[in-house]
Amino acid sequence: MNLKTSITLFLFLGFTINNYSQVTSKEKVLSEIRNEGFNNSEAMNMLSQFTDIYGQRLTGTREYYNAATWISDEMKKIGLQNVHFENYCSDCRGWGIKTFAVEMVAPNYMNISGYPLAMSKSTDGIVSGTIISIESYADMNWVRSEFSGKLKGKIILLGKEPRKKSLLDTIESRYSETQLKQMEQKVTAKVKTTPLPELFEQWKTDDFSEESFLKFIEAEGAIAVLTTRPMYLGVLHPQGTYYYKEGDLKPLPYFTIMPEHFGRLYRMTKLNATPTIRLNLETEFYSEPENNVNIIGEISGNDAKLKSESIVLGAHFDSWHSATGATDNGANCIVLVEALRILKQIGYEPKRTIKVGLWGGEEQAYLGSAAYAKKHFGDLNEKPNIASKKIAAYLNLDNGAGLIRGVYLQNNELARPVFEKVFEPISTISSGAIAIENTLSTDHETFDYYNIPSFQFIQDDLAYGSATHHTTLDFLEYVPENDILKNAVILAWTIYSLDTMNENIPRKKK
């Protein structure tokens, strides 16, 4: 072999080995992420502590703050830096239930399965009254005309007989590959977003739409309200009223009851067999602004040029009050923390700063994420500041506890090639569907408004829409362990992939 041939072979081998090492470095990181996430996961243990011990996390409450303290300690234990609270509301009040009961006592006995709506005030001990049916308050002139002078000592049955849902219906569902393909085939987003200032003004009207009705019936001497929502198999959907600030209305005792029980009471009124209801409710209101905190933490970046940039992960931390908020949104809070634990455990040192924000008050009006954005990126009615340009991407997780099947691009077509590269190596655990569509109703809308590249993952619904979302069934039993383990791995890999890109995700053209 002559010298020229030897040099050529040496250069070829060096080029091949260098390319091989470049390819396998990413493969090595992915294998380490998978090994840590699948074989050494802390996710379900953390989620059980979070939901079973600390329970519901209604905005403004002591339970919320206790859970926030616990998870901030967990974040510190796994090595996150700059873990701290940021207050998001100075006048969001606390509220809690001490005891309640609802029963029909005539013409015969029935224990009524019900739950108080948030922010209801107490009864005056144990009270009794006969039912009067009011099917709608849409026309308050009609309500006043029809019911003035007739409500003293009455218990209002609000609404019509709920639509029956079949016991044979499928309760849990996952996306089929056909459905995911159909989502991918859309070339433009059909769902329209509403700018945050307009959205918040709209909610002020929508969320307070029943206020005049509640004030009227209380002034007329009504004792309480019973309502319902069509659900499956006796599921209760309490959710709550949106009177969450100091000075807001404190509604008279207000319960949601099981659809089947509501249906019986409604039919009895039509048959002139008027039910008598006995009930009691003891609640408390308090003002503790220190409870209203976002929980923030980070893994600081190590690249001299890029560490000022951030990849931000977000999930809402608050829940409604009738269960432990396991699927909405406890599981996803834990997935975010677990993904960062995985990256810390494998020794990954990011170029960019990786931040996590667990937001309060999402169920009310994106209170937590909106307060964070205003503080860091400027007022809603101002042009986004320079700090907003330093956010490379915002990733949100808030569609139940189902497996991540892809991502909504939020009408940002320029981001498609990025996520194609992210999902390709993990095709064995996620379909990697990339949908141009906008999805709504969670905190990514806040960051999207500031033209930060913002994305919500596509997740299998499971029983989220049918049984657990804002209901009394939102417990750990409806969180599948395999999905949680996979989601943490998918998220850790997504963070790594975005962090190691040479360029950031392009922003939407506005």
Mean pLDDT of all residues in 71-76? 98
| Euclidean distance between CA atoms 28 and 18, whole angstroms | 15
| Euclidean distance between CA atoms 231 and 114, whole angstroms | 13
The model's pLDDT over 408-423, given as tens digits with 9 standing for 90+, comes to 999 999 999 999 999 9
* Residue-level pLDDT at 232: 83
| DSSP single-letter state for residue 45 | H
Give burial (CB, 10 Å; 0-12/13-18/19+) of 375. Answer: middle
Residue 208 has pLDDT above 70, yes or no: yes
| Euclidean distance between CA atoms 13 and 17, whole angstroms | 6
* CB-CB contact of 104 with 226 (8 Å): no
Residue 159 has pLDDT above 60, yes or no: yes
* Residue-level pLDDT at 9: 52
Report CA torsion sign: 319, 322, 324, 325. negative
* Residue-level pLDDT at 13: 47
Average pLDDT, the chain: 95
The model's pLDDT over 172-182, given as tens digits with 9 standing for 90+, comes to 999 999 999 99
The model's pLDDT over 81-91, given as tens digits with 9 standing for 90+, comes to 999 999 999 99
| Euclidean distance between CA atoms 240 and 116, whole angstroms | 8
From 261, 263, 258, 264, select the one nearest 231 (Cα to Cα). 258
| DSSP single-letter state for residue 322 | S
Higher pLDDT, 308 or 167: 308
Residue 22 has pLDDT above 60, yes or no: no
Distance of CA 239 to the CA centre of its chain: 13
Residue 489 has pLDDT above 60, yes or no: yes
Mean pLDDT of all residues in 463-475? 96
What CA–CA distances, in Å, run from 22 to 25, 27, 302? 5, 9, 20
List strand residue ranges (DSSP E) for 55-207, in order: 81-87, 94-106, 110-111, 114-116, 127-134, 155-158
What CA–CA distances, in Å, run from 405 to 181, 184, 330, 485, 490? 11, 12, 19, 14, 10
pTM here is 0.94
- The structure tokens 């769902």 sit at 191
List strand residue ranges (DSSP E) for 172-319, in order: 224-227, 254-257, 276-286, 293-299, 310-316
| Euclidean distance between CA atoms 453 and 362, whole angstroms | 20
Distance of CA 194 to the CA centre of its chain: 19
What CA–CA distances, in Å, run from 408 to 96, 308, 437, 455, 456? 36, 26, 6, 6, 6
Report CA torsion sign: 354, 358, 363, 365. negative
Amino acid at 324: T
The model's pLDDT over 216-246, given as tens digits with 9 standing for 90+, comes to 999 999 999 999 998 887 899 998 899 999 9
List strand residue ranges (DSSP E) for 308-436, in order: 310-316, 353-359, 391-396, 404-408, 433-435
Mean pLDDT of all residues in 296-313? 98
* CB-CB contact of 351 with 302 (8 Å): yes
Report the length, in residues, of the chain: 510
| Euclidean distance between CA atoms 261 and 134, whole angstroms | 16
% of the chain at pLDDT higher than 70: 95
